[in-house]
Structure 1
């Protein structure tokens, strides 16, 4: 049945060593991939919850607030800090601009104060 193997002991031992080396390499690769997958899953579980509200801040001393966004807005700039819902409402009520894309003022039920 399996007559395609070499007939002598020396070559059979060589093949066995070669296959054992490959098996070791394959097992090591499987272990690395399983470890990476476990680390990624651990990272996904431990990832902090995204901020519900974000204020975009400007450049300069004190980094003044520029615009209020909801946490999922794709237009948030790179200079930002998370804020609470109450702080977002306060900033909008104090006259800070709301993002025109995510319309954080409408989402926070802040009516247009300029028309009052």
Structure 2
């Protein structure tokens, strides 16, 4: 009886571990660049972040490299925590 309970518990734990691995494997890839947008009319861009920046707000959208460069050169701020302007080799 105890052996069956132990085997059942092991099987359950292995199934949970396999499910966690599937979730991590199927997770969408992080974007390279993120633009944080405002809440006003048209949701104007506020800041440009590196894709894995912990300080990015909830209102954001991924952008390609050339769009991030264009936004930074047009006057949108670069986040000081992740420094996308330095990574994109844009100097003031």
1:27 CA drift (Å): 1.7
1:61 CA drift (Å): 3.0
Q: Which has the higher contact order (CA 8 A, sep 6+)?
A: 2
What is residue 75 of structure 1 aligned with on the other side?
Answer: 55
Moved over 3 A (4+): none
What is residue 12 of structure 1 aligned with on the other side?
Answer: none
- Structure 1: stretches of 5+ with no match in the other structure: 1-19
Q: How does 1:1-116 map to 2 (within 5 A)?
A: 20=1, 22-112=2-92
- TM (norm. structure 1) is 0.73
- Structure 2: stretches of 5+ with no match in the other structure: none
Bigger helix share: 1
Deviates most, 57-66 or 83-92: 57-66
Higher CA-based Rg: 1
Aligned to 1:23, the other structure's residue is in SS state: helix
1:62 CA drift (Å): 2.2
Taking only aligned residues, the RMSD between alpha carbons, in angstroms, comes to 1.3
Aligned to 1:110, the other structure's residue is in SS state: coil
